[in-house]
Amino acid sequence: MKRLWAPWRMEYIGGEQKPGCLFCRVIEHPDDPDAELVVWRPEGALVMLNKFPYNPGHALVVPVAHVPGLETLDDGQTTLLMRALRRTIDVLRSTLNPEGFNVGANVGRAAGAGIPDHVHFHVVPRWNGDTNFMPVIDEVKVVNEALTQTAAKLREAFARS
C-alpha cells in the first residue's frame, strides 16, 4: 500500500479553533498568523488564499463588511467587492495560466458556507485534466505547490498590476 503524507493537516484536524470570524480577524489584525495567506488588500475588500484549496491559486475574495449575504451589501460595497473579484481573476489568469475558473459564493450554512456570517467568493482556477483518480478513489486532492509559494507569486503579481 502506498501512503500519502500530509502531516500539516493535523494542525487543522486537532488544532484549537480560534474565536471569531477568520476574515474579520485577518482584516483587523494583519499580524495574525492566518494573514500570511493574504495576497491583496484593496479598498473595501480582502483577497487571500484558501488554506485548504481545491486547486492551486484557490482564492477567497471577501468584503470588509461583516455581512452574511450579498444582498446586505450597499451599492458602494458591492462595487468594491466586484472590482476586487475581477482583478483577482485577471491576476490569477496572468500568473497561473488556468484554462478556466469556478467562481461562486456559498450563502448560508445550508448552501455549504464554511463561514456563514461573512459572505465571500471562491475563485478556483481550473485546467483541462486537473481532475484525476485521486479524489474519486481516495478522496484526496493533490495541490502541487506550497501555499506560501503561491501567495508570494500572487502578492508580487498584484503589486505589479
Residues designated as active site: 120
115-119: long-range pairs with CB below 8 Å, 24+: 115/21, 115/22, 115/23, 116/68, 117/21, 117/66, 117/68, 118/21, 118/22, 118/23, 118/24, 118/62, 118/66, 118/67, 118/68, 119/62, 119/63, 119/67, 119/68, 119/69, 119/70, 119/72, 119/73
Read off φ and ψ for residue 75, nearest 5 degrees. Answer: -60, -40
**How many Cα neighbours within 13 Å face the side chain of 113?**
19
Handedness of CA 29, 43, 100, 108 (dihedral sign): positive
Q: Using CA atoms, how far apart are residues 34 and 51, in angstroms rounded to an integer? A: 9
